[in-house]
Structures are given as C-alpha cells and as structure tokens.
Amino acid sequence: MNHKNYEYLKEQLLYSGFGNGLEDSLKDNLQRQPEGFQLLFQTGMGKGRIRAELNFSRSSQSDMYFFNSYRLEIVPQGTEQRRAQLFYVNGRDRYTLKEAYNLMHGRSVFKELSNRQGDRYEAWVQLDLKTMDINGNHRFRQFHKNYGFDLQSELDRYPIRELEMPDRRQDLIDALQLGNRQPVTMELEKGETRLYLQANPQFKVLNVYDENGIRQEFLGPEKGMDLTMEKTDRKKLSTGELSEAKKKIHGRKRGLGG
C-alpha cells in the first residue's frame, strides 16, 4: 500500500466533509489494490438523512488512487422527494458535502470555477431541480457577477445586528455563500427577532424565513422597517384588502397612524 497516497486521500475525505469514519475501509481497499472501488457514507444532516457512494480509481501508471466523485442521495423524510446527484471532487470544479447538500435543496452556492481553457472565475451555482439529463443528474445553472446580484449590498438593506461586527459580518457572508439558510437577529419595530436568510441570486434578493420556515416579505430598505404579514394571514385577504392593509402598514412607518 502507498502510505503517502493513503494519508492524502484521508485528508481529502476530511476536507470534503466526509469526516474520518471511512479510514479503515479506505485502507482495506488500498491494500487489496483493485482497479477501482466505492465507499459508502451515511449520516443525518438537517432534518433528514443522506447517503453517498464515493468513487475511487487507480492510476494506469502507478499505484496511486484518486477520489474522483461521489453520488449523493437525499433520503426522503415525510413529503420530501428522493433526489440523487453526481458531484466531482477532482478536476475543474469541486463540491464539498455541505455545498452539495445545499444545492440539492434548491439553494445557491458561490464558487470559484474554471472554464475549459483553465481560466478561473467566480459565480453563484444552482441546480435546476426540474430537469435531469440522461444520466439522472440535474443541470447546473450559473449566475456570474455581471448578472447583478451583490450579496453585501443586499445584506445592507436589512437591520441585521451581526452586520455591526466585522467578524460576524464575514461569518454571515461566508455561510450564505456556502448555501446555508443562516440565522440572524433583526432589529424590527416589535423588537429583536430571530430570522433566517438564504441567498437567491437568480432573483437578486435574499429570502427571509421565520423559525417555522415560512417565507417573509421585507417592506423596504430603511432601518427598522418591519416584516409584512405571514403567508397564512395574507391568503385570507382579497386583493383590495391586502392593498389597503399594506397602505396602513406603510402609514404607521411614516408616523401617520391607522
């Protein structure tokens, strides 16, 4: 067995998000020296479970092995759909387990990528979960910088306490670029409120959710402006009633009463 190769692959598994629970299986396969092999990874993530098949191949010119890709499957929980997708860890574009998990839940990830000529560039990446190719994989969509979504400018529209602290601000940006639905504290008229943000570069906005996962609508860019009614309340109103309700809310924000 090539011990340097083993140590390298062990670190690659760790930094790709698969931890160190596969080390014994990895060593066993490297000692047997097959042409290629797979390792099975399972764990809980979020409110459900995931399963991944990790693909390794042997070099045609040496005893080195390469961790090439993994097929990630979301195990259904309740009404959640079963999904599977192949992600690469060698080559031009590499995805960690956390990034892959977020992509498979319809979220966007900010990545440094490369084109066929090897030139590097940055873009937001999202899976098109409505379509699949002949291999059963979803197509990747990209939103480049010139598309017009500016995460930092969008964050500054909101009264987020974490933005007042430089280290917490960067942590928030990093988490959103990873594709996380990230908790924040907003200073609203009703007081400090725990909410969750998710980057949505396709529509050049941040999605805002409450603790129950219900999406909220923010009224405006000014500090201190509150959230609108939750969806469950909005559905009870007719179009005219909803318009009138919004006028009253805006009136209160301007100190007009009502």
What's the mean pLDDT when you consider all of the chain? 83
Question: Is the CB of residue 53 less than 8 Å from the CB of residue 38?
Answer: yes
> pLDDT tens for residues 199-228?
999 999 999 999 988 998 875 544 445 555
> pLDDT tens for residues 95-105?
999 999 999 99
pLDDT of residue 49: 85
Q: What average pLDDT score do residues 30-56 get? A: 90
pLDDT of residue 166: 87
> pLDDT tens for residues 80-127?
667 899 998 876 678 999 999 999 999 999 998 888 887 888 999 999
Give the residue with greater pLDDT, 51 vs 49.
51
Which own/partner contact pairs does 146-155 have at CB distance under 8 Å and 24+ positions apart? 147/201, 147/204, 148/204, 149/124, 149/199, 149/201, 149/204, 151/110, 151/176, 151/177, 151/199, 154/204, 154/205, 154/206, 155/197, 155/206
Half-sphere exposure for 105 (CA within 13 Å, toward CB): 25
Q: What average pLDDT score do residues 159-165 get? A: 92
pLDDT of residue 59: 92
pLDDT of residue 245: 39
Which pTM does this prediction carry? Answer: 0.80
Which of 24-28, 124-128, 130-134 shows the lowest per-residue confidence on average (mean pLDDT)?
Answer: 130-134
- Could you give phi then psi for residue 39, rounded to 5 degrees? -120, 140
Question: Is the CB of residue 208 less than 8 Å from the CB of residue 218?
Answer: yes
In terms of C-beta density within 10 A (0-12 exposed, 13-18 middle, 19 or more buried), how is residue 235 classed?
exposed
